[in-house]
Homo-oligomer: A and B are copies of this chain.
Amino acid sequence: MAVVSLSEARMRMHELLLDVRVPAEYARIIEDHFLGNEVLGKSSHGIIRFPYVLEYVRKEGAGGAMKEVASTQQSRTFDANRLPGVVAITLAAEDLVAHLDASPESALAAVSVTNYHVISGVLGRYAYQLAAAGYIGIAMASSWAIDAPPGGREPMIGTNPIAVAVPSTNAPVVVDVTTAATAYGKVLLSKANGEEIAEGIVIDADGNPSRDPDDADNGAMLGLGDHKGFGLGLAVELLTGVLVGGDIASREHNDRRDGAMLLALRPQAFGSDNYLERVSALCNLIVESEARPGSDGPRLPGEKYALLRSPSEWPETFEVPDSVWEAFVNV
């Protein structure tokens, strides 16, 4: 493993992004997203993805502006003009927060976005962005077709994550789950390590159960619990890509149109004057409850997000595999 200085990694990212004419404020969003994911321990969405984003910026550019293609008092749809996904969705979340901050009578609002380029990043980050501003945040995004329906063997929808974050008296509570049996990145990791994967995650090209990680691409992935996860993933697909004009059932990984949907609710509008306290009360009961034998005790989802509250509190260093660091410095 290589021990990486966060500020050094940030500086290098910044230079590389400015070299390919990414505006400084967009560069900062990209750096914050991928380095913040390292802080969260989500190394599958950390600097390992940066060379990939840079390649796309070189190809498609990253200097455009979001274009509003539909709007109402409570909703906006943006065409991201092939901005990087993490820039487009972060800007969409900023827009949503600005709208609700400026409209105290507004109980809820939504922003959808399409035509960004890969990748959409960690959805929990956008939900967190909304919750850190005091709102209940919901974030969803579509991706290339890789999940097969129950009874079927052809990839039809993406691994389509759902993230929900809510404010509390402490850090926001952040839930971020893929609707597939596992994250695609984890399958890639097993593949890199030459390991088999558990049953119930992929099927081979003939539709038979498989433990070969290559079958995520050669066959298909399954939904979490097969029909339940596929159902939720389909719901995400219908609320994102299908709603905003994204590709339908396309297996193309790269030159594609996905969709993201952000929803934010103002908790006070629903009659609860002590929502933050009630959220914390439930969370405290959970973390203080009895452990299962052999476990470290009950865990809340997204506990590490508390680390993101202030960039000045981010750790100075993080570790990545040597190969990831080499790819990063040689990009």
Contacts and interface: CB of A to CB of B under 8 A. Distances in A.
B291 A75 contact: no
A181 B229 CA distance: 11
A6 interface: no
17 contacts: A72-B105, A72-B106, A72-B107, A73-B107, A75-B265, A108-B108, A108-B263, A149-B298, A152-B291, A154-B289, A164-B238, A166-B239, A173-B234, A208-B292, A238-B279, A243-B275, A244-B271
A75 to B, nearest CB: 4
A315 interface: no
Contact of A238 (B75, B136, B297): B136
Q: How many copies does the complex hold?
A: 2
Contacts of A157: 282
Nearest to A166: B238
Interface in A229-247: 229-232, 234-235, 237-239, 242-245
B244 A300 contact: no
Interface of A: 69-70, 72-75, 77, 105-110, 112, 136, 148-154, 156-157, 162, 164, 166, 173, 175-178, 181, 203, 206-208, 224-225, 227-232, 234-235, 237-239, 242-245, 248-249, 263, 265, 267, 269-272, 275, 278-279, 281-282, 285-286, 289-293, 295-301
Contacts of A166: 235, 238-239
Nearest to A145: B285
A248 B285 contact: yes
Given A74-B108, A153-B289, 20 more contacts: A73-B105, A74-B74, A148-B292, A149-B286, A149-B298, A153-B290, A153-B292, A156-B285, A164-B238, A164-B239, A175-B235, A176-B231, A234-B301, A237-B282, A239-B265, A242-B282, A243-B267, A245-B272, A248-B285, A249-B285
